[in-house]
Homo-oligomer: A and B are copies of this chain.
Amino acid sequence: MEIENDFQIIPSYGVQRVEDMLATVVGAGYSNTRARRAVLEALCETGGQATPNRLLALGRAHHPALGLVTVYRTLDILHELGLVRKLHSDAGCHAYAPTTHDHGHHVICQACGQAVEFEGCDIAAVVAAVETQTGFRVQTHWLEMFGMCPKCRKNEG
């Protein structure tokens, strides 16, 4: 199996490839344009998350005329198709990360910002406890973890 880039800690959880995402976009009836390819390429070079502004900077390496508006519009499409998720933190809620699993949540490195999706979030017991405690009926949830990625832990000794 081919390693895509530095950020790929565990191959099976690596960054989704540009071609796969592009195929989904085209399959949904959208055109294969230079600007959209540039955004997808940028997204795959980010280490797991990026703000629209950062995607613009990275994308311009592939397509110098790329505009910020197009980044936003492309992210809308990718979100609609389930190819990206929005990440949230107290530091800001402007980052997007590529999706790699059906029911995915992210763990984010507090040192370098790398975001990796994990699977198997089994919190049924917690949900049941909350329903009993509050009387709510829980329909969906949202979970994010923050810590240190393997690389940053190694660099800290």
A118 to chain B, nearest CB (A): 5
A29 at the interface (CB under 8 A from B): no
Q: Which of A18-26, A30-38, A60-68, A135-143 contacts B (4 or more CB under 8 A)?
A: A135-143
A-B contact pairs, 26 of them (CB 8 A): A10-B135, A13-B133, A107-B130, A107-B136, A107-B138, A118-B129, A118-B130, A118-B133, A120-B129, A123-B123, A123-B126, A127-B145, A130-B145, A134-B149, A136-B145, A138-B145, A138-B146, A138-B147, A139-B146, A139-B147, A140-B145, A140-B147, A142-B143, A142-B144, A143-B143, A143-B144
A10 to chain B, nearest CB (A): 7
- Complex CA–CA separation, A141 to B107 (angstroms): 9
